[in-house]
Structure 1
Amino acid sequence: MVKIGNIELGEFPLLLAPMEDVSDPPFRQVCKENGADMMYTEFVSSEGLIRNAHKSVQKLDIFEYERPIGIQLFGSDVDTMAECTRIATGANPDLIDINYGCPVKKVACRGAGAALLQDVPLMTKMTEEVVKATHLPVTVKTRLGWDESTKNIEEVAERLQDVGIQALSIHGRTRAQLYKGEADWTLIAKVKNNPRIKIPIFGNGDIDSPEKALDYKNRFGVDGIMIGRAAIGYPWIFNEIKHFLATGEYLPAPTMEQRVAAARQHLKFSIQWKGDTLGMLEMRRHYSNYFRGLPHFKEYRMKLVQTLDKDELFETLDIVLKEFDGVVLESKAKVVEYGGAD
């Protein structure tokens, strides 16, 4: 049984990665219903939370059905991170996660996210103060290092464990790689097999099929897998992996009825949570992914991404179901392009 503090996650948990502009409550809902064992919020700016910025505060919204769930924080200042940890703790998540992995310029070039990989003493001090600022378990998500010449994840893992983190998720790329090339899990395995490391180690990067999940589980020995891009528009990947690990067999591909139902549910909650206009606008990035591979879909996609009439949106989804009923797309997820931050 994998545990983070007192949180029991099962024998081999599948985690939904925190993804900026993706991992909001509407998206998390469809992933939870399709087998995600633990999820995280989009990352929350410590400075924004201190200033009571609406966007940062709204990201603290969590719902009982999502549990266990962690609020992920990022920042560059130790005192600010400690204070925002106290604020986030008040939102009653199950754990606090620190983002030391975000590679995008607007975060890393401000000394936050993956930038902390260049200053391990500061990272260690920040982590220690976050741990002190909450009674909740603290976890970390990070990368192998800043670039090819500074892969310091083994040192990072030991030092962060020493100051009290209770789990570590490692993306198998450096900051310099962004999301390019193939993720390297060999260093993740070294961290997991280090006799000093006692906390759960979760691997992240390029898991897009049940076969790869089983292969990486066996080859690298991680305690669980964190899935990000492959779940965008394909929340079924969690249950597909679980079924394959348990039986060696594939679940049937999601039907067109299931795809449309997931998109409708996602859209409905997006409107409820963000309001009509913003809810419809932010849902636009998801339609192509829900129906990826569907032939002659461009006409319907354009309708979905151009209208701001919610009744028309739901009607278009009904038409998609009618027009493509019985069409079966490939069951395995495919990693999609993602230009956001994790």
Structure 2
Amino acid sequence: MKKLQIGNVTLDNPIILAPMAGVSDLPFRLLCREMGAALVCMEMVSAKAIYYNNKNTDSLMEIHPDEVPASLQLFGSDPQILAEMAKRIEERPFSILDLNMGCPVPKVVNNGEGSALMKDPKLVEQILTALVRAIDKPVTVKIRKGFDDDHVNAVEIAKIAEACGVAAVAVHGRTRAQYYSGQADWDIIAQVKDAVKIPVIGNGDVDSPEKAKAILEQTGCDGVMIGRAAEGNPWIFREVVSYLTDGTIPARPTNREKRELILRHAALQLEYKGEYTGVREMRKHLSWYTVGMPHSAHFRQTINTMEKMDELIRGVYDIFPEEE
């Protein structure tokens, strides 16, 4: 299994945790890093929010030494503000700066940001040129196949990115119009790989070690980005790394392993976010962790009533009992 070089950053393997708003926060990133993700990508941060000194943004950008290398992702549409804010935060301990051109949610797209940028190649060129000039750290970009099926331009955007000095491009094989539905088009990832010399990271429908190997082989991409398949399942990184290394897949985690990791996740939420926010944010993770478990449907009904960490811990012991 090859290492992956992004600018001056060397990753131990080509497996990356995708940036996911509301999911890839500091506690979850730490767990995925420990499980084998060579690079963890942070939740997207608004360049304008940094500009206006938004208090919540500061906590979004917090980085633990044990999760490095980490990629900090900005979103916005103003080249000057993006470049100035990138320069302002460059001393923070992230290793790579990423530009979000993939977010499909209306409040971002309607503001001309996220995947809306796919519609404006000239603006993309201005933004990426400004970002690369503004900071010394590697700049990457995460794009989609295109905005919709009538405007598939991932190859064009990737070429622009390479010409601007971008160090790598991640390609999600769906259009903005698809959101996360349907099947990801891996062929567009292969087309991008054929068109540029910088590293290309494939993203979309990688939910198993076998799929990770398949996307590498079918597209020729240099790295694999795993997003939704890691929700409630950080063990996927351990499995993918093992499979790509020697063809073996470790046994699925036991109840004890699951319980210990979930309790550690909860403890990290408590440490970094306090009980009120930590418990509430942990609810969705518990729903993901317990999919397919016996009695999990009833457990998930009670999750949303939990307000105290001791309630949550008791619930975890109930659903993952001490005995195997």
Structure 1 runs (4+) greater than 6 angstroms displaced: none
Partner of 1:131, secondary structure, is helix
How far apart are residue 223 of structure 1 and its match? Answer: 0.3
Confirm or deny: 8 A CA contact 1:117 1:145 kept in the other structure. yes
The residue identity in structure 2 corresponding to 1:219 is Q
Greater relative contact order, per chain length (Cα 8 Å cut-off, separation 6+): 1
Q: Distance in 1 between matches of 2:143 and 2:189?
A: 11
How far apart are residue 66 of structure 1 and its match? Answer: 0.6
The residue identity in structure 2 corresponding to 1:113 is G
- Residues 132-143 of structure 1 aligned to structure 2 (within 5 Å): 132-143=133-144
Q: Residue 4 of structure 1 corresponds to which residue in structure 2? A: 6
Residues 117-143 of structure 1: CA distance to partner in whole angstroms, max 9, x if unpaired? 110000110111011111111000010
Q: Residue 263 of structure 1 corresponds to which residue in structure 2? A: 262
Q: Residue 54 of structure 2 corresponds to which residue in structure 1? A: 53
Partner of 2:141, secondary structure, is strand
Q: Residue 231 of structure 1 corresponds to which residue in structure 2? A: 230
Q: Residue 336 of structure 1 corresponds to which residue in structure 2? A: none
How far apart are residue 106 of structure 1 and its match? Answer: 0.7
Q: Distance in 2 between matches of 1:178 and 1:300?
A: 29
Confirm or deny: 8 A CA contact 1:166 1:199 kept in the other structure. yes
Q: Residue 185 of structure 1 corresponds to which residue in structure 2? A: 186
What TM-score, normalized to structure 1? 0.91
Q: Distance in 1 between matches of 2:90 and 2:101?
A: 19
Confirm or deny: 8 A CA contact 1:100 1:114 kept in the other structure. yes
Q: Distance in 1 between matches of 2:295 and 2:319?
A: 11
The residue identity in structure 2 corresponding to 1:262 is L
- Residues 234-253 of structure 1 aligned to structure 2 (within 5 Å): 234-253=233-252
Q: Residue 115 of structure 1 corresponds to which residue in structure 2? A: 116
Q: Distance in 2 between matches of 1:99 and 1:272?
A: 28
The residue identity in structure 2 corresponding to 1:96 is L
Confirm or deny: 8 A CA contact 2:84 2:134 kept in the other structure. yes
How far apart are residue 13 of structure 1 and its match? Answer: 0.8
How far apart are residue 179 of structure 1 and its match? Answer: 0.5
What is the alpha-carbon root mean square deviation over aligned residues? 1.3
Q: Residue 149 of structure 1 corresponds to which residue in structure 2? A: 150
In structure 1, stretches of 5+ residues that fail to align are 327-342
- Residues 63-102 of structure 1 aligned to structure 2 (within 5 Å): 63-102=64-103
Partner of 2:258, secondary structure, is helix
Q: Distance in 2 between matches of 1:120 and 1:301?
A: 44
Q: Residue 322 of structure 1 corresponds to which residue in structure 2? A: 321
Q: Distance in 2 between matches of 1:183 and 1:87?
A: 36
Residues 134-187 of structure 1: CA distance to partner in whole angstroms, max 9, x if unpaired? 111100001011111111111111111111100100000011111010000101
Q: Residue 282 of structure 2 corresponds to which residue in structure 1? A: 283
The residue identity in structure 1 corresponding to 2:266 is L
Residues 33-87 of structure 1: CA distance to partner in whole angstroms, max 9, x if unpaired? 1111101110000111111111212111001111111110000111111121112
What TM-score, normalized to structure 2? 0.96
Confirm or deny: 8 A CA contact 1:71 1:88 kept in the other structure. no
Matched, 1:204 2:187: no
